[in-house]
Amino acid sequence: MSTPSITSLKKLQKKMSTPVPVSDDHDEKDVRANTVMFLSNLVDATPQNSKLAYLICNALEKGMLELPELNQVFPEAKTKHRQVKKKASEREEGLKDQIAELESEIAGMKRDKKELGKSKASKKEIAIVAEEIESFEEDLEACRASLEDLKGPDAYKPFYTVEREKNGEGVVSDKDWSILKKWLAKEVKKSKASDADGLYGNLKLLCDHLGFGQTEKDFLRLLVSVSESSELGGFIDTLGNKKQKNTLEVMARMLGISRPQLSAMILPDAQLSEKGMLLQHDDDYSYDADDSAMPFLPDYIQRVLREPDLTIDVISRRLVGEPVTTELDWDRDFSHLGERGQQMIAMLESAKTAKVKGINMLLYGLPDTGKTEAVKAAAKKVGLDLYMVGEKAGDGIGEPDREDRMQSALLAQALLADKKNAAVLFDEMDDLLPGASARSRDQEKPTGNSKVFLNRLLERNKTITFWTANDPEKFHPAVLRRMRYSMEFDIPPVSVRERMWGSISARHNFNISAEDCRKFGQNYIAPPGMIDTAVRNAVLAGGVTSIPISLAASATLLFGNQDSIIVRDTVPSNYDPRLLVAKLEDSDLNLEELGGHIKSSGNGEFSMLLYG
């Protein structure tokens, strides 16, 4: 079965080079116990005469897994060499001790001989001492010669080498395979992994809540162990030689399942991916043979699972966040949306009650025209708890990338599926699927994982989902067809902007005159969010005079030009259109009447030729 590559080696190496410490000693013991269990499963499922068995022995002989107890007994050749080396070392230490004793004895006897000479002892007594000294010196020379001749064993030469394997000698000895299996069996019983609490207990809580089966739970347990132990990750990657087929084979044996079963589990439309627990391969990057084929749990999920004293409610809040709201009021601040807005509210009311799948609302238009605040206000009006997804990067730092946002949206849908009155907001959809959404000659259809992702989010979502975008023209029609309802946002008309200045100022208890509301509404095409910011700044700054300065700063920040929101070519307040000398061909209307008709129709697609 063909499966997608899951992640790049660079990301895996980054994870392994800066491992986050496990939460406590209890978790560390569980990581080791799980490592032993998975290794035991792998060995039990691997024939002794296979190439993989030889590679396992090669990696263990190198000490790739930090299992010092195993290193003491495996392999047999290393154990024997260690024993010979130990005996040689003991013999060497014995000779050194003997030499030290002889040197001490000789020094003492020489002192005795000197004292005898002073005491006028007989020549015979002095001769006896001299003979003893000579005898001891002969023994000393013999010991020194023995020490000089003593040779320890040569440096240990690994038994399970790549060279031996290439030369056709890559066979695992019966003794070694037996030693390995017996040690693992004993160790598994002695250090049984627990999922009652801690890191693995939190993982179990999350898996149970998401409805995963035992095999899926075991797989996630393996991924957690890999993230917690860079040695285990390197061990698997080495055995798989960074090739997808081999890596999946190793991991499948560790889980006690077949490779096709594991391949099916990591497909983009399988449960683990569909519920946001696996990062999917990005179709914008081709698979490279140097890349690791090992899947892994997203960083920020595992970071949450390391925290102590978690419940499933706390886990969900930590992963999805708290509901967001707004001070804006739908009926007051977005009434200018008219029938379009009323239709969306009616649909939301019905969808909230019926719990219909695939309810997607697209709000699109120029930046900062109030799309996000409108979603918040609409959710507040119909009593929905609104959660924003895809706002944080996987490492918790910086801007989220496309992969982070995709995974976050999937996980949020899974965690909120059974939550009453929940809705999700995915802001700035434009940067989500560039490979699947660009309307170019080369890319007219979503492909690969991007297409699967669209199907999952836009057809199967159980939670009402709002999407905002600046330019829907970037998206393929297949994406747009899956939107249940859409609404365009543009700069509100002058009358609405005047009303907004008044209502937003009132909400912040800011005193502003009707004349200033009219002036700001006419002179600035500022969207609701920018008006709100300007009023709040004016409350702090203490006056209306600060509003133009605040608007200029916001316009520069958002649009790159402080003049971008200033209305140009406005009609002077003292202009009287009745004084205009003009005639409409084939019509009894004058220009003022025509303007009124155009305004009441709500249709801005009108052109006029003026000549004369």
Q: What is the pLDDT of residues 172-188, one digit of tens each?
A: 999 999 999 999 999 99
pLDDT beyond 50 at 472: yes
Encoding tokens for residue 600?
């009441």
The pLDDT-based confidence of 485 (bands split at 50, 70, 90) is very high
pLDDT beyond 90 at 222: yes
pLDDT in tens, 321-357: 899 998 888 988 888 888 999 999 999 999 888 777 7
User: What letters, b where the CB count within 10 A reaches 16 and e where it falls short, cover 355-372?
Assistant: eeebbbbbbbbbebbbbb
What percent of the chain lies above the pLDDT cut of 90? Answer: 36
Q: What is the pLDDT of residue 256?
A: 96
Encoding tokens for residue 240?
């798989």
Q: Which of 49, 315, 284 is nearest to 170 (CA)?
A: 49
Q: Dihedral sign for Cα 592, 593, 599, 600, please.
A: positive
Encoding tokens for residue 147?
């020490």
Encoding tokens for residue 392?
């944080």
Amino acid 153 reads: P
Q: What is the pLDDT of residue 151?
A: 75
- Dihedrals phi, psi of 72, to nearest 5 degrees: -75, -20
Q: What is the pLDDT of residue 445?
A: 40
CA distance 297 to 301: 7
Integer angstrom CA distances of residue 11 from 90, 219, 267, 293 = 49, 20, 20, 11
If 0-12 CB within 10 Å is exposed, 13-18 middle and 19+ buried, where does residue 286 land?
exposed
Of residues 405 and 313, more confidently modeled: 313
CA distance 334 to 338: 8
CA distance 234 to 451: 32
CA distance 224 to 234: 14
Q: Which of 293, 288, 286 is nearest to 239 (CA)?
A: 293
Is the backbone peptide bond immediately before 268 cis, with ω within 30 degrees of 0? no
For residues 433-444, average pLDDT: 40
Residue with tokens 């920040």: 557
- H-helix segments, 383-430: 402-416
User: What letters, b where the CB count within 10 A reaches 16 and e where it falls short, cover 82-115?
Assistant: eeeeeeeeeeeeebeebbeebeebbeebeeebee
Q: What is the pLDDT of residue 478?
A: 77
- H-helix segments, 150-280: 162-166, 174-190, 198-210, 214-228, 230-240, 244-255, 259-265, 271-274
pLDDT beyond 80 at 232: yes
488 DSSP β-pair partners: 364
pLDDT beyond 60 at 396: no
pLDDT beyond 50 at 397: no
Three-state secondary structure call for residue 571: coil
Encoding tokens for residue 66?
């930090």
pLDDT in tens, 27-82: 888 999 999 999 999 999 999 999 999 999 999 999 999 899 998 899 998 888 88
CA distance 345 to 271: 32
CA distance 559 to 550: 14
Q: What is the pLDDT of residue 611?
A: 80
CB-CB contact of 262 with 222 (8 Å): no
Q: What is the pLDDT of residue 464?
A: 92
Residue 424 per-residue DSSP state: E
pLDDT in tens, 503-512: 889 989 999 9
3-state helix, strand, coil in the chain (%, to 5): 60, 5, 35
Q: What is the pLDDT of residue 208?
A: 95
If 0-12 CB within 10 Å is exposed, 13-18 middle and 19+ buried, where does residue 38 land?
buried
Whole-number average pLDDT of the chain: 82
Three-state secondary structure call for residue 503: helix
Q: What is the pLDDT of residue 254?
A: 97
Instruction: Supply angle C-alpha 25, 27, 28, rounded to 5.
Output: 60
Q: What is the pLDDT of residue 580?
A: 75
For residues 244-248, average pLDDT: 91
User: What letters, b where the CB count within 10 A reaches 16 and e where it falls short, cover 389-423?
Assistant: bbbbbbeeeeebebbbbbbbbbbbbbbbbeeeebb
CB-CB contact of 414 with 463 (8 Å): no
CA distance 592 to 571: 13
Q: What is the pLDDT of residue 121?
A: 76
Q: What is the pLDDT of residue 400?
A: 60
CA distance 580 to 595: 14
- Min mean pLDDT across 199-208, 250-259, 567-576 is at 567-576
For residues 117-124, average pLDDT: 79
CB proximity list for 76: less than 8 A, separation 6 or greater: 173, 175, 176, 179
pLDDT beyond 70 at 282: no
Q: Dihedral sign for Cα 262, 267, 273, 277, please.
A: positive
The pLDDT-based confidence of 200 (bands split at 50, 70, 90) is very high
Q: What is the pLDDT of residue 433?
A: 53
CA distance 445 to 540: 51
pLDDT beyond 80 at 393: no
CB proximity list for 215: less than 8 A, separation 6 or greater: 255, 257, 261, 265
Q: What is the pLDDT of residue 6?
A: 36
